[in-house]
Amino acid sequence: MRSFTYERATDAQAAVAAVSRTGAKFISGGTNLLDLMKLDIEKPSHLVDISRLPLRDIEELPDGGLLIGAQAANSDVAADARVRTRYPVLSEALVAGASGQLRNKASTGGNLLQRTRCPYFYDTAAGCNKRDPGSGCSAIGGFNRIHALLGVSDSCIATHPSDMAVAMTVLEAEIELLDADGSVRRVAIADLYRLPGDTPHIETVLRPREMITSVLLPPPPSGRQTYRKVRDRASYEFALVSVAAVVSTDQGAISEARVAFGGVAHKPWRSIEAEAALTGRPATMVTYRAAAEAAMCDAVGQGHNDFKIELAKRTLCRTLAQAAQAS
């Protein structure tokens, strides 16, 4: 590891001011950043510790939603009775992620901003436009079994690894950001992440001096919420494909549906096409399959990951069937 300096922020405004210096980065749980520093991928010269800021609370909002502090641990959010009761898709997604030990350390804000698990990103001998802009994408034409199907470019086919972000996408969460000048803005989670295009190293719309302070969940949607994750092993593994769904039915027909995929794109992938194919249709496997075909109509396999297209379709069908049956 390279040498670096360290300070512990005393309040949120001091934290964003401290990170304004060249080479500075925030650190909270460190479950992703420290690994990347050890591999010489992240090279901060100064770390600003925000783990002890008073941003851990989960609070009721006047409209019936919840505010989740950016420093709330993943395990605390998953175990919160209000989250489990009103936003079960979020609790299920969090429990499906990593291990208990990591969930105890990982923060809500850090989870949203974790980096891709593409093996070429982690291999400093390989070309990776996300790690080293202009060096190429070794995954294209390489071993790309875990890589993206949707929203890809000739510069990058990496996926976003967060389970939590997929659930928050169907819940239509908003992210609250604090800038060094004291200004606060909110960004819908659907707008937080950028597609790779020609600049895959620019992953979000966060400005250089901004810090996530909280996540705001609107009042829970009607209907059944569920999360399904398909992976190579039962624990401590990232998704090949995951699906978060919210389904409402009325007399055997789907009155409302929300669908988001994980493991298939550079960001949590909200499928408006699948939702349109579901709304107003009978809650049957024929409808689910039509929605799955619509969701994957623009999917492009890269060779080793071609199987993920059919896997995504089947995962969506099974998730929708489970949600509709219980709604």
Crossing angle (nearest 10°) for helices 307-326 and 285-295: 140
**Higher pLDDT residue, 109 or 325?**
109
Instruction: List, in sequence order, every beta strand (DSSP E) within 240-320.
Output: 241-250, 253-262, 269-270
Q: How confident is the model at residue 21 (pLDDT cuts 50, 70, 90)?
A: confident
R_g of the chain computed on alpha carbons: 20
Average predicted confidence (pLDDT) for the chain: 96
* Element of type H or E holding 226: strand 224-230
- Residue showing tokens 């937080």: 192
- How many Cα atoms are found within 13 Å in the side-chain-facing hemisphere of 150? 23
Given this model, what pLDDT does residue 327 score?
63
Res. 1: pLDDT tops 80: no
Tens digits of per-residue pLDDT, 101-131?
A: 999 999 999 999 999 999 999 999 999 999 9
Residue 213: predicted pLDDT: 98
Facing residues of 249 across strands?
A: 254
- Nearest-angstrom CA–CA distance, 294 and 271: 9
Sign, Cα dihedral of 246, 252, 255, 260: positive
- Report yes or no: 228 and 242 within 8 Å, Cβ to Cβ: yes
Helices (H) and strands (E) in the chain, counts: 13, 12
Give the residue from 314, 274, 312, 309 showing the smallest Cα distance to 294.
274
List, for residues 130-178, the tens digit of each pLDDT value.
Answer: 999 999 999 999 999 999 999 999 999 999 999 999 999 999 999 999 9
Structure tokens at 264: 């298939």
pTM comes to 0.97
Q: Give the integer Cα–Cα distance in Å for 82 and 73.
A: 15
Specify the residue for token string 């080479």. Answer: 23
pLDDT over 90 for what percent of the chain?
94
